Chains A and B, each alone.
Chain A
């Protein structure tokens, strides 16, 4: 049996008080004694929408009692950090926490994602001391009786957590062995958060932006694409509330990626869907992509703002502040427009109709998923090679932009059909392509940002409120961006050569061979 929480136990609930159960298990060498009064706490577990803390083996809990409001971060490896803080409202970025070790530990994990409540419970906690023959406390035993709010939830058994006093780990291990062998208690196999989620009938990690669908090579191509596109629709819809409430910028990012993947799926594989489907929805998804673009462009600026301001040589970050203010103002306007679009009848009708269209039955005979994957990946790879080879140092920016789009299409195809491929070859092929994509992405982002900063400067001038120092600072920023753009342009030839190399292309051939009928 795997002991996931070696110092935690659950009470079997045979009617005996905890003290009696524990005392019977550890006597005669050790005794238990109560310590202090029971404490009632309201518990709220926090994590990002994509469960970054959970994936990193961390649990963040807000504990609120009559005179306590603290946040405890615990790690699977025993790490524990606590910070007191009152009056914080969630969802918020980890930046909302007071400065200190807890915030410093959380920030790199949560990144730009907000923390939001993932589960709630209340508990009565009691503390017991475990004493040796000298009456010395060698371990603390915390007894927690959890209860969940709302109807339809299952009970959570009482949980005992043993914590060794420093220097008494050996004796605590002995007590662990005695409790493990005792009647009336069982080793805890779940964390408190997992227990609460299970009691509420929920699963952790309920969201991922990955296209983790399981396809088989022999399944009809239409069924495979329907599965992929339904998964993308699920991701899109999952991100709508967070985007409308503007909880953090990644909701919109993930929503946009789902839209782009869907558009590529329709463009590259739409022919296997029911007749007329691709044509009917191509325009609708373009509309959805377009309404999300202005705010994402502003997000890219704002997310990179601190880094850009720190890189100013002549101007000061303070002189750039009016530009930041202008970006924030514009973002508010664009956010309202986006929220309206996502609440509109057009959007609701479109997603409902799309779900219906993806339920069309697949023909019994015809192309298989394996054949579709091989055919479309081969074509997309050929497109990238052809267009990339044609690019010279004199080629216009549009040619690189076009190549970037083709690379994205190839990448999405690899992701759609990942479950049909050898994972090692798939991962390496994605890595080969990613190197090229990163370079093209940087080039394109710089192009867009250069165009936009000029446009913003003109708009700010038109408002007649911008000081000259801010415009000068923006000019320096434009210079920074131009340098990055030139650097990306210089790196392109090397990155493309890597992708077009014999080794890389051999991997793509391996992915597209043996496809069957």
Chain B
């Protein structure tokens, strides 16, 4: 079992769209996939038409009083399951803080699911917190959407440095340019320069396309409702790069 997390300290950069589409593509390729919507806003759950509610809330899951297994919902797609969001996830930091070895907690919770799933995708809320640290420790690969600004690149460097300081297991980091608007010169320049200069940035870019925004109307992955679209092709290329780099 591999664990992939979509992570960025900023919100609105395309984490959830990426998590949902990558999960769908992996399942379509034959992997048994679980997507955990860790964001209290429940966007991934909404996109997959699952109500964002977990019996007992996040506390029951994190404290191990309720099996993750019992909270899992099947989606409309073969081999793709979802662990839905819950509004109580907003307090996951506090719940983790009260547990033993909080940064290792998520990895320990996910371990028993190894027999059932080939890939677990964690869709993280935008923050830098105990929860994100726990995610960084659990993940094998971090998929980091970057919007093309100088500050975003600086944040990526900070993240890489932070991970380099981990003892033992460290996730691989793969950033990619997200929400690229080709009409903007700065976007074009950064989207061309970054993959050429940095090995931790994917060659694939995900453009800002209205079809991706349409996911919230269709309530489905773009790779499912428009599989031949440019957006779906870009996500497929990104998934291929992720797979090449160790999944």
A and B interact: yes
User: What A residues does B86 contact at CB under 8 A?
Assistant: none
User: What B residues does A167 contact at CB under 8 A?
Assistant: 71-74
Once the chains bind, are B49 and A166 in contact (CB under 8 Å)?
no
Q: Which of B48, B74, B219 contacts A166 (CB 8 A)?
A: B74
User: What A residues does B51 contact at CB under 8 A?
Assistant: 134
Q: Is A300 an interface residue, CB under 8 A from the partner? A: no
Once the chains bind, are A166 and B50 in contact (CB under 8 Å)?
no
A168 to B72, CA, bound (A): 10
Residues of chain A in range 455-492 having any CB-CB distance to chain B below 8 Å? none
Chain B residue at minimal CB-CB distance from A167: B73
A289 to B59, CA, bound (A): 73
A165 to B77, CA, bound (A): 10
Q: Is B123 an interface residue, CB under 8 A from the partner? A: no
Q: Is A515 an interface residue, CB under 8 A from the partner? A: no
A220 to B201, CA, bound (A): 94
Chain B residue at minimal CB-CB distance from A164: B74
Q: Is B76 an interface residue, CB under 8 A from the partner? A: yes
What is the interface size of chain B, counting residues whose CB is below 8 A from a CB of the partner? 12
User: What B residues does A241 contact at CB under 8 A?
Assistant: none
Once the chains bind, are B72 and A136 in contact (CB under 8 Å)?
no
Given A135-B49, A136-B49, A136-B50, answer yes or no on A166-B81 (Cβ-Cβ < 8 Å). yes
**Measured between C-beta atoms, what is the minimum distance from A87 to chain B in Å?**
23
A166 to B73, CA, bound (A): 5
Most buried by B among A129, A136, A165: A136
Once the chains bind, are A166 and B76 in contact (CB under 8 Å)?
no
What is the interface size of chain A, counting residues whose CB is below 8 A from a CB of the partner? 9
Most buried by A among B74, B75, B219: B74
Chain A residues touching B, majority SS: loop
**Measured between C-beta atoms, what is the minimum distance from A398 to chain B in Å?**
58
User: What A residues does B50 contact at CB under 8 A?
Assistant: 134, 136
Residues of chain B in range 72-103 having any CB-CB distance to chain A below 8 Å? 72-76, 81
**Measured between C-beta atoms, what is the minimum distance from B116 to chain A in Å?**
11
Once the chains bind, are B74 and A168 in contact (CB under 8 Å)?
yes
**Measured between C-beta atoms, what is the minimum distance from A474 to chain B in Å?**
45
Most buried by A among B49, B71, B81: B49
A409 to B3, CA, bound (A): 67
A129 to B75, CA, bound (A): 12
Flag B38-79 by CB within 8 Å of A: 1 or 0 each: 000000000011110000000000000000000111111000
Q: Is A137 an interface residue, CB under 8 A from the partner? A: yes
Q: Which of A134, A135, A165 contacts B74 (CB 8 A)?
A: A165
Residues of chain A in range 119-151 having any CB-CB distance to chain B below 8 Å? 129, 134-137
User: What B residues does A134 contact at CB under 8 A?
Assistant: 49-51, 219
A135 to B76, CA, bound (A): 10
**Measured between C-beta atoms, what is the minimum distance from B121 to chain A in Å?**
17
User: What B residues does A129 contact at CB under 8 A?
Assistant: 76
Residues of chain A in range 148-174 having any CB-CB distance to chain B below 8 Å? 165-168
A339 to B119, CA, bound (A): 56
User: What A residues does B75 contact at CB under 8 A?
Assistant: 165
User: What A residues does B81 contact at CB under 8 A?
Assistant: 166
A135 to B73, CA, bound (A): 15
User: What A residues does B219 contact at CB under 8 A?
Assistant: 134-135
Chain A residue at minimal CB-CB distance from B50: A136
A166 to B77, CA, bound (A): 12
User: What B residues does A136 contact at CB under 8 A?
Assistant: 48-50, 76
Once the chains bind, are A168 and B73 in contact (CB under 8 Å)?
yes
Flag B212-231 by CB within 8 Å of A: 1 or 0 each: 00000001000000000000
**Measured between C-beta atoms, what is the minimum distance from B212 to chain A in Å?**
20
Flag A314-329 by CB within 8 Å of B: 1 or 0 each: 0000000000000000
**Measured between C-beta atoms, what is the minimum distance from B113 to chain A in Å?**
13
A166 to B81, CA, bound (A): 8
Chain A residue at minimal CB-CB distance from B76: A137
Residues of chain A in range 165-202 having any CB-CB distance to chain B below 8 Å? 165-168
A141 to B76, CA, bound (A): 13
A302 to B219, CA, bound (A): 61
A167 to B76, CA, bound (A): 12
**Measured between C-beta atoms, what is the minimum distance from B103 to chain A in Å?**
29
**Measured between C-beta atoms, what is the minimum distance from A171 to chain B in Å?**
11
A135 to B74, CA, bound (A): 14
Chain A residue at minimal CB-CB distance from B70: A167
User: What B residues does A168 contact at CB under 8 A?
Assistant: 73-74
A165 to B81, CA, bound (A): 10
Chain A residue at minimal CB-CB distance from B71: A167
Most buried by B among A129, A165, A167, A168: A167
Residues of chain B in range 145-201 having any CB-CB distance to chain A below 8 Å? none
User: What A residues does B72 contact at CB under 8 A?
Assistant: 166-167
Flag B13-25 by CB within 8 Å of A: 1 or 0 each: 0000000000000
Chain A residue at minimal CB-CB distance from B219: A135
A137 to B73, CA, bound (A): 11
User: What B residues does A166 contact at CB under 8 A?
Assistant: 72-74, 81
User: What A residues does B76 contact at CB under 8 A?
Assistant: 129, 136-137, 165
User: What A residues does B73 contact at CB under 8 A?
Assistant: 165-168
A347 to B71, CA, bound (A): 67
**Measured between C-beta atoms, what is the minimum distance from B225 to chain A in Å?**
12
**Measured between C-beta atoms, what is the minimum distance from A369 to chain B in Å?**
58
Chain B residue at minimal CB-CB distance from A136: B49
A129 to B78, CA, bound (A): 13
**Measured between C-beta atoms, what is the minimum distance from B131 to chain A in Å?**
23
A327 to B193, CA, bound (A): 74
- CB<8 Å pairs between A and B, sample of 21: A134-B49, A134-B50, A134-B51, A134-B219, A135-B49, A135-B219, A136-B48, A136-B49, A136-B50, A137-B74, A137-B76, A165-B73, A165-B74, A165-B76, A166-B72, A166-B73, A166-B81, A167-B71, A167-B72, A167-B73, A167-B74
Apart from A134-B49, A168-B73, 17 more pairs, CB < 8 Å:
A129-B76, A134-B50, A134-B219, A135-B49, A135-B219, A136-B48, A136-B49, A136-B50, A137-B76, A165-B73, A165-B75, A165-B76, A166-B72, A166-B74, A167-B71, A167-B72, A167-B73
Identify the 6 closest CB pairs spanning chains A and B, nearest first.
Answer: A167-B73, A166-B74, A136-B49, A165-B74, A137-B76, A134-B49
